[in-house]
Structure 1
């Protein structure tokens, strides 16, 4: 009988052989196959989860990162964004926090006095901002891997601007969702003509510190981020509990009409042509968001765990309240070389609540991503059921 290590090696070998057979072909630019051929040059543990044409590209080693997915196999469109230029550059693989991908783990808060994006005691200004070293350089150890899931983890040390050190064990579990699981979770029936793919991530952190993590010295929530490909007429769709325009948090720049609210649903333009970000506090949250691209015939849906706790860290530069932050954000990037901005993507983001953990206590956060490709009419059946909006109701934008 094989021991656990032998089973792991066999699973990795089998997945490598399967992937290698697919990669002997020539694929068009922008296809899943072309992206996998690129990733295979740099990621030595790239794993393809899924079945048939419903595929998810994962690296357990790169902190349980999902790079991209497809609903139509290796010939189909690659849905996620990852930074090929950075990956191919010298030292680029040691900047994991900036590689992108459809799912990656970060920690919050981004700003305020307990920020983990500034070294201890330095002024919180743009020029001093940097990602914690562990998020950029620490590889995870693979615990389990097969065609349906992967699990990896490692110990991490994160410091905040206040001078607090967090020692923790971080674990990432990625699982592929089959058709019946998708239909059960979303309470839908997928039309026969619609192609689909879905995965779930569960991030767990466990405190290894002897001391209790406390509000007064900063807490460490889980921040889940997914980079998606934009399109000119794509709108994010965010159902809410009767949100109004003044309850939508605005980041970085004026929103310039990019936010519209109709019947409690927030529509937000995601074309990667204007740097901005929107968010919602817990009072307005329904733990679901999505987007529709008429150019790609693509409906994205994202759900996440939400317990309506009281502590959600603030990442708003304009706020002085450390624990009255947003539960979700959608980031819209831009490419403006003169301003050193190269962000040709948009992001779905969700936060766990912050917890005052004792030693060995855990914090978990779950996010599930669904992609559906098909006709507008078929996708509207799903959108109406899950997001509460027919796709013909999306705003126009010039």
Structure 2
């Protein structure tokens, strides 16, 4: 949001640098490509950020998938997997300070919705006094119970692209993994990221002036729908998202965030083992959530 605008859909803008501007191809191989770009951003408080962006997108082999996830892959599985290695550097002359706002690296995986798709995010159990709320479901209004089911150590969220809603899991609760299952297509989707120390917290992306701007979430999921009465959905789509810590960078310093995405198709027998190993949830539990 630009300085002086309202926290409303009509004033929301995606900066051109991450929307329409071209990036330079720095290196390229048969399985990877690295892009670079420099930009200047201005936040709601009027603070300026001179930043360098480097992003490497790499296809992952089945051997790499098995090693990264720590699982054995059955011969009947079909897999498409990729890694994005994202870096933001302070290329200006001034340090980025919490009191004037900070950037973070926020990766949004956007997927095709369906009536048979359910998001699953496992999280750490524990008292709210120590770990905070299990789930933040207040981004765009409370999510009704026919779209969100919260248990002691996991949540289920519809990914049907028909009702707008967003939720988040805090870094204190995050296990570094999220997933979804399309029961009609028999596709299990897994997203992981590099969990790291966050001395300056996580950027809070709620659409409001905030008392705690660095108590944001590490994992988010969004289900698309009408953003305003009478408006069509943006996609439709649903998302699995991860964020880096807030980047309080001095000139020349860099923040790195790595997200890996795994799309796995196969029999429910094979997918069930993976789902239980990775998400602590059976395929039957996912299908029965709603």
Distance 1:154 1:186 in 2: 31
**How far is 1:374 from its partner?**
0.8
The aligned counterpart of 1:248 is: 135
The aligned counterpart of 2:3 is: 120
Distance 1:292 1:278 in 2: 17
The answer to whether structure 1 residue 260 and structure 2 residue 143 are counterparts is: no
Mapping 1:56-205, distance limit 5 Å: 118-205=1-88
Distance 1:164 1:335 in 2: 32
**Which segment drifts farther, 223-232 or 243-252?**
243-252
The aligned counterpart of 1:273 is: 162
Distance 1:317 1:281 in 2: 17
| Post-superposition CA distance 1:311-359 (Å, at most 9, x none) | 1011123653111111111000126892243321101111100121111
Distance 1:262 1:121 in 2: 40
The answer for unaligned runs of 5 or more in structure 2 is none
Per the alignment, do residues 217 and 335 of structure 1 end up closer, same or farther by CA in structure 2, a change over 3 Å counting? closer
The aligned counterpart of 1:378 is: 270
Higher helix share: 1
The aligned counterpart of 1:285 is: 174
The aligned counterpart of 2:191 is: 302
**Contact 1:335-1:344 within 8 A present in 2 as well:** no
2:211 pairs, out of 320, 324, 328, with: 320
**How far is 1:361 from its partner?**
0.5
Distance 1:334 1:120 in 2: 27
**How far is 1:212 from its partner?**
0.7
Ranges of 4+ aligned residues in structure 1 off by more than 6 Å? none
The answer to whether structure 1 residue 354 and structure 2 residue 217 are counterparts is: no
Distance 2:141 2:78 in 1: 37
The answer for unaligned runs of 5 or more in structure 1 is 1-117
User: SS at the partner of 1:236?
Assistant: strand
| TM-score, scaled to structure 1 | 0.67
Distance 1:365 1:397 in 2: 32
The aligned counterpart of 2:258 is: 366
**Contact 1:272-1:335 within 8 A present in 2 as well:** no
**Which segment drifts farther, 316-325 or 199-208?**
316-325
The aligned counterpart of 1:334 is: 225
| Post-superposition CA distance 1:14-40 (Å, at most 9, x none) | xxxxxxxxxxxxxxxxxxxxxxxxxxx
| Post-superposition CA distance 1:210-241 (Å, at most 9, x none) | 11110011111011011101111211111100
| TM-score, scaled to structure 2 | 0.91
**Contact 2:90-2:253 within 8 A present in 1 as well:** yes
The aligned counterpart of 1:45 is: none
Distance 1:233 1:314 in 2: 31
Per the alignment, do residues 132 and 378 of structure 1 end up closer, same or farther by CA in structure 2, a change over 3 Å counting? same
**How far is 1:147 from its partner?**
1.3
Give the length in aligned residue pairs: 281
**Contact 2:225-2:232 within 8 A present in 1 as well:** no
Q: Whose relative contact order is higher, 1 or 2, with alpha carbons under 8 Å and at least 6 apart?
A: 2
Distance 1:143 1:394 in 2: 42
Query: Which protein shows a greater Rg?
Result: 1
**Contact 2:149-2:289 within 8 A present in 1 as well:** no
